[in-house]
A = this chain, B = another copy of it.
């Protein structure tokens, strides 16, 4: 975007550091600021009745709660830091103003929004078309890929959170890991070792239309 527009956009913005486990925003609240995660990790989650579920995990550098900002509508999800995190906050009205003035910025915003949208659609397909075992298997393959396609890698989250993200209980996740043993999955704490890549892929049947979160 143009320098002048960028200066205007950042004029009232500020960067803040947060310790872990801080609730940054609460679902239902009005959307005053666009949030951009610069470092650390943030969890997006939702609650209903006495239940809570992990909707997504945000890694740097990405925005979150962009749609609420654009629509000036209440947040649909809450957000909390998982680690010490640096977050930039830009007043929603400035984002909307920049959108009108700067075409490249508008393009970038709409691109980011479309990516987020497609990401939820993929996640919904994952949920509705697969069993929990299949979801875990595909999650492992995705995580392996992000870690560099090696035979072993670390889980980037605690298992309780992973379970929630995959739409199951922690107890069930434990059992699911055991059920994947025959397909060549070894678990030692947070360390995963895949001993039979082909067998796991044959079971998981990953699809770019569900598992490729880059497009």
Contact = CB atoms under 8 A, between A and B. Distances in A.
A interface: dominant SS: helix
Nearest to A118: B67
Interface in A162-215: 167, 205, 207, 209-210, 215
A141 interface: no
Contact of A110 (B48, B74, B99, B209): B99
Given A48-B129, A129-B46, A73 B215 contact: yes
Q: How many copies does the complex hold?
A: 2
A173 to B, nearest CB: 15
B109 A100 contact: no
Contact of A100 (B107, B113, B207, B215): B107
Interface string A115-134: 11110111111011110000
B113 A209 contact: no
Nearest to A167: B128
A94 interface: no
Nearest to A210: B48
A110 B110 contact: yes
